[in-house]
Amino acid sequence: MKAYRAAVLRFTDQGEPVHAAAFEEDGLLVVGPDDSGRHKVQAVGAYNALKNRFAGVAIEHLPGRIIAPGFVDMHNHFAQTNIIGSPAEGLLPWLENYTFPEEQRFASSDYCADAARFFLAELLRNGVTTALTFASCRTESVDALFSEAQRRGMRLMTGLCLMDRHAPQGVLNRAAPDGSRNATEQSLLDSEALLQKWHAKDRLGYAITPRFAPSCSADQLRGAAELAARYPDAWIQSHVAENKAEIAWARALFPASRSYLATYADVGLLRSRAVYAHCLHLDAADRDLMHDSGAAAAVCPTSNLFLGSGFFDYAAADRAGFQYGLASDIGGGTSFSPFHTMLGAYYAGREGQTKQGLSLSPQQLWWQHTAGAARALGLAGTVGNLVPGCEADFVVLNPQATPLLARRTACADSLDELLFAMVVLGDDRLIERTVISQAS
Ligand code: GUN
Ligand code: ZN
């Protein structure tokens, strides 16, 4: 066992509101292995209240620091690191001009391994300890990312990007080399083989990954849904209702469905552990479908602002009661930093609200990128919080990391002011250390 003495931020996750934070100015976080050997939170609370109980445990004292849950990024693309900040009129030209050409390069194992190393190092450097990530349409990219996450002991879900149409050949799924199977069949067989190889190994999870309806044939979507039905604890990830031109395209390709979102529902791709990125242009029936199916939205504010896609409507999502959390959407998104994503969500929340003038509180923003995101992924009580039983993934924040942060946080008169100062002024410099739960 090991203990850390510092200020500690966690979420009560009980009662109302669900995002209420608890903050110990002088706290103690005790971590140690459970029966499986995985390091979990054993106790957390005020130092004075816990010090006698854990008198024999080595304590690392971190004066002036804040320990907080590791961040959970609900949606990003590891094959898009090199195209962050590529300007385009909107989503579809951005995909065509930058994204697909770059993703074509994720066919070589060396290229994939180098990108996976950089991507996970960058997530961790920014305090992200759990991610649901798109790989490319090549099995090499999935193996590379899982291998690197396993080496680091990180909790990560990814899967083979399913796309069998409407993109250059090099970025589509491939037919079996001997010609015995077409690309659609082969992509589904590859997905199942990768799932069996990686799902629930250590802290890894497989995500069945139809890119979005316009890039998948009806057969491929149906095949993905059949696979999902056979593996109910696997994840599903896709995109929906991000951009007006994308929506018109999806509607034209699947005219029999009531809406773009319904295209996925009609084949059986909406359920708990199904995560749909964006969900900007939904109507009330779509939001009810999200709620009733148990699917979750990954809200990607920096991407939506950068690509001019629109604004997530938090008030409408809350009225419908479906689950959502925050995501970087690298590389449509502009930053690996959860602070930038939370600030983007604050700006976007002002624009997208149906109730004028309201936006999100700092506790809501922080919760949506930690415990709330974990809950939306079906991982409540496993990651995203620092309460007993959670895996011991956490960040050590240094609020003195820059002169301005030091000056502003010293003036904070409340927890909300302190959190807001870090959301607005924070970036990778605020993350002094990222600690990943050990397996002993
Ligand atoms: N829709 C389909 N593919 C993508 C992607 O890679 N990024 C974003 N932002 N939207 C998508
Ligand atoms: Zn995306």
Measured in Å, residue 88 CA sits from the centre of ligand 2 at 15
Q: Please list, in sequence order, all residues whose beta carbon lies within 8 angstroms of the beta carbon of residue 30, skipping any fewer than 6 positions away.
A: 1, 2, 3, 41, 42, 43, 44, 50, 54, 57
Measured in Å, residue 75 CA sits from the centre of ligand 2 at 6
- Model confidence pLDDT, tens digit, residues 166-188: 999 999 999 999 999 999 999 99
- Model confidence pLDDT, tens digit, residues 51-94: 999 999 999 999 999 999 999 999 999 999 999 999 999 999 99
- The protein residue with its alpha carbon nearest to ligand 1, atom 9, reads 332
pLDDT band, very low/low/confident/very high, at 16 (cuts 50, 70, 90): confident
Q: Please list, in sequence order, all residues whose beta carbon lies within 8 angstroms of the beta carbon of residue 28, skipping any fewer than 6 positions away.
A: 3, 4, 5, 8, 43, 44, 45, 46, 47, 50, 51, 54, 59
Task: Map 152-189 to HEC letters.
Answer: HCCEEEEECEECCCCCCHHHCCCCCCCCCCCHHHHHHH
Share of the chain above pLDDT 70, in %: 98
Measured in Å, residue 417 CA sits from the centre of ligand 1 at 35
Peptide bond into 17 cis (omega under 30): yes
- Model confidence pLDDT, tens digit, residues 184-206: 999 999 999 999 999 999 999 99
User: Domains plus CATH for the chain?
Assistant: 2-69+385-435 (2.30.40.10), 71-376 (3.20.20.140)
What amino acid occupies position 257?
Answer: S
- Model confidence pLDDT, tens digit, residues 222-243: 999 999 999 999 999 999 999 9
Q: Please report the pLDDT score of residue 356 as a whole number.
A: 57
Per-residue pLDDT at 376 exceeds 60: yes
Three-class SS state of 109: helix
Measured in Å, residue 224 CA sits from the centre of ligand 1 at 18
Q: Please report the pLDDT score of residue 343 as a whole number.
A: 97
Residue 316: how many other CB atoms lie within 10 Å: 18
pLDDT band, very low/low/confident/very high, at 350 (cuts 50, 70, 90): confident
Angle between helices 183-198 and 139-152 (to 10 degrees): 10
420 in ligand 1 pocket by Cβ < 6 Å?
no
pLDDT band, very low/low/confident/very high, at 354 (cuts 50, 70, 90): low
- Model confidence pLDDT, tens digit, residues 92-122: 999 999 999 999 999 999 999 999 999 999 9
293 in ligand 1 pocket by Cβ < 6 Å?
no
- Model confidence pLDDT, tens digit, residues 285-310: 999 999 999 999 999 999 999 999 99
* Ligand index nearest the alpha carbon of residue 95: 1
Residues lining ion ligand 2 (Cβ < 5 A) are: 277, 329
Per-residue pLDDT at 357 exceeds 70: no
H helices of 67-153, in order, are: 91-94, 100-103, 109-125, 139-152
Q: Which of 89, 242, 260 to mutate to test the pocket of ligand 1 (most atoms within 8 A of CB)?
A: 242
Residue 409: how many other CB atoms lie within 10 Å: 23
Per-residue pLDDT at 394 exceeds 60: yes
Measured in Å, residue 227 CA sits from the centre of ligand 1 at 22
